[in-house]
Copies of this chain bind each other. A is one copy, B any other.
């Protein structure tokens, strides 16, 4: 263990050294006992099912049959929690606690129990002997609570299971939350991950004039599960230099002697808090134009501190061997049972709790009062959500005449809508757009009429809408964009993450984890709904002309579809007005992961606003104007052309047009699907159409040619449970692509209008006049295209005009 020390890159300010702020002898004693209580309850949760206060000698029957949990990080988490309690009592600061090593769940639960907030939320876990017994028995047990910090943990917005996102979550949480301080514990394991490594950039994006503060506490205990960590093995100077290079002002607290560490940590927190308040005061009085050198604490304490030192002759405390359950087989091994008993008794439970299991009053007094306790902060429980002001969509809607006759960059009106949200929340900011530097590229640039890109670095002459006061968050890290947004929405604000479709897979795992969080959180009555996580994919596989194969991947749709239907939604609006209707819905929705996929380029526009609203509300509709069924006819179509997504819709419409023009005897219906989750049966997803509604669209037995934005086989997954699914013939992205023309993309993936029309003729059957001619024509066009591709290196024709412009659609139903 490194020597005990207190050093920052700048000397602590005077106030941190004043007598009245230093930790006195008596307070230290109390504080240490409180910490003992937290550690005691942590060990008790992992091991005990009876005799929780050791009122009798420990017997095998008192031990749980399955020993699960993580001890190693727990004493450190409790140490930090206890000291934050002290800070809150002294300063009345509003503090939210993020436990990066969230697998130390029992430690956080122990502290919540000690401060009383746990019992308020879970009355059965009362502050008495019966509650204590329930506290330990519920841990890591079927029907009880999970071993990690998670939704069920009061005061938390972060599950420390998948490591990497604690600091990003903390950073998003303080944005537009000027009074909040987020104490973010980062374990040295997590510090090895990529997302966490990127998160140290936070000072470049946090403005002390309007944002709250993140206080990172890098808690180094030296080890992961079975090996050392890189930072854990480096010197204090090296680790300090790293944080300093990232723009932080690191303070080291290090040691294995509790009293010394208590004193150092108290001093470090006082120093950090004073420094934070100074930055904030200065920025709020004088503005801020460069990154604040925020304090950060590097805390080095032994892994499994205060636990068994040596077990079976092997060192456990201070090594990786204390990571999970330091003593195994306790029921069967009398020696381990004795070790456990002496470990538990080392905390002197009789000096912590009264006979009925109540924390002694002098210790209970160390917790902050009422609403300042970290377990009841309103930010974490969705209690601070305010609605998002939305102007009427009429302000942004495109005028539509003949459907498909005009083209427009589909996402541009959405940019205007977001601009007005920025304008209308300027006095009470609660909306942000997050993107890896693609706001303009995604045609959302209208937002820059209302705000700017945020960066706390010098603004140069050539910069485009850049300012420390901007609220458009651009950083070339999907992990940061999404992590910041997750922190922002989980604490009750609203936002949108706009990114390249293919690279949304970079943070796919975060999407999975967020959905899992929501799925459990929404079942907890004391958690209020929070704004949804909205992900907009705007540079899609079909239109990545500049970039090619690496940028073509619609996989996030599949990842999202696998998750619980209670929390996931997938929208594929075909044009601008349906996108607006979708946006209006998702921006007001709560507790969902909304995935919206639509391309940013110029595309044909189809639906006037009112139709778009109806279509969006239905999720899927027959576009009568695009087919040739007689109104009132009951005979049904010969073929259904279904489509989902902008490019597939254009191809399907063109195919339908070709069919009607060349084969007038064929009755064609066009169905557009913009909510992917209408396809499965209603028992699979709440949006699933009833059997009757489904067959109203797709008939009972007609063949359906589906042009689908993503992987074709996804549709078969969605259709499982529908009657007669074999009649659906799906074309979609099939991992064929390169840097090429949009038309070549649909040809390579066999989803072109010609492919669709040929498939439709094949499936419709019968002998329709003109069918053979159309099939021949389609084949000729595809051959012509192939010749073009083969010949272009010798003679480069224009391709857009002769195959890419869509046939105009006639609106036949009014």
Contacts and interface: CB of A to CB of B under 8 A. Distances in A.
The count of identical subunits is 2
Contacts of A245: 238, 241-242, 244-245
A731 B508 CA distance: 24
Contact of A717 (B201, B458, B714): B714
A369 B354 CA distance: 84
Given A137-B796, A476-B192, A464 B548 contact: no
Contact of A509 (B441, B453, B506): B506
Contact of A143 (B321, B508, B545, B792): B792
Interface stretch (A159-167, A412-420, A614-622): A159-167
A179 to B, nearest CB: 27
Contact of A550 (B150, B790, B800): B150
Nearest to A483: B194
Given A555-B562, A792-B137, A233 B457 contact: yes
Given A143-B789, A548-B147, A224 B502 contact: no
A751 to B, nearest CB: 16
Nearest to A243: B245
B457 A143 contact: no
A811 interface: no
Contacts of A479: 193-194
Interface stretch (A82-90, A252-260, A312-320, A397-405): A312-320
Interface of chain A, helix or strand or loop or mixed?
loop
B739 A68 contact: yes
A452 to B, nearest CB: 10
Interface residues of A, number: 132
A393 interface: no
A425 B244 CA distance: 43
A65 B798 contact: yes
A146 interface: yes
Interface string A149-170: 0100000000101111000000
- Which residue among A436, A477, A563, A798 has the maximum number of chain B CB atoms within 10 Å of its CB? A477
Interface string A733-745: 0010011110010
Contacts of A477: 192-194
Contact of A546 (B68, B189, B441): B68
Contact of A735 (B474, B516, B555): B516
A474 B192 CA distance: 11
Contacts of A230: 201, 204, 455, 457, 475
A750 interface: no
A770 B546 CA distance: 66
Contact of A740 (B142, B247, B548, B558): B142
Contact of A476 (B161, B163, B198): B163
A191 to B, nearest CB: 8
A553 interface: yes
B546 A69 contact: yes
A147 B544 CA distance: 11
A138 interface: yes
A713 interface: yes
A275 interface: no
B65 A226 contact: no
Nearest to A507: B509
A108 to B, nearest CB: 14
Interface in A195-245: 195-201, 204, 224-230, 233-234, 238, 241-242, 244-245
A194 B144 contact: no
Interface in A124-153: 134, 137-138, 140-148, 150
Interface string A773-802: 000000000000000111011001011100
A494 interface: no
Contacts of A570: none
Interface string A259-281: 00000000000000000000000
Contact of A508 (B509, B516, B744, B790): B509
A505 B144 CA distance: 27
Contacts of A726: 725
B147 A437 contact: no
A241 B551 CA distance: 34
A766 interface: no
B548 A66 contact: no
Given A142-B788, A477-B193, A725-B725, A103 B547 contact: yes
A793 B143 contact: yes
A549 interface: yes
Contacts of A519: 735
A189 B509 contact: no
A243 to B, nearest CB: 8
Nearest to A557: B562
Given A559-B558, A792-B142, A148 B725 contact: no
Contacts of A189: 437, 476
A355 B145 CA distance: 79
A562 B547 CA distance: 21
Contacts of A292: none
A194 B164 contact: yes
Contacts of A229: 476
A162 B716 contact: no
A520 interface: yes
Contacts of A563: 735
Given A134-B793, A161-B549, 4 more contacts: A64-B796, A161-B502, A162-B550, A505-B512
7 contacts: A148-B547, A226-B437, A241-B245, A244-B245, A502-B512, A562-B713, A713-B717
6 A-B pairs with least C-beta separation: A161-B550, A194-B194, A197-B197, A505-B509, A194-B198, A716-B720
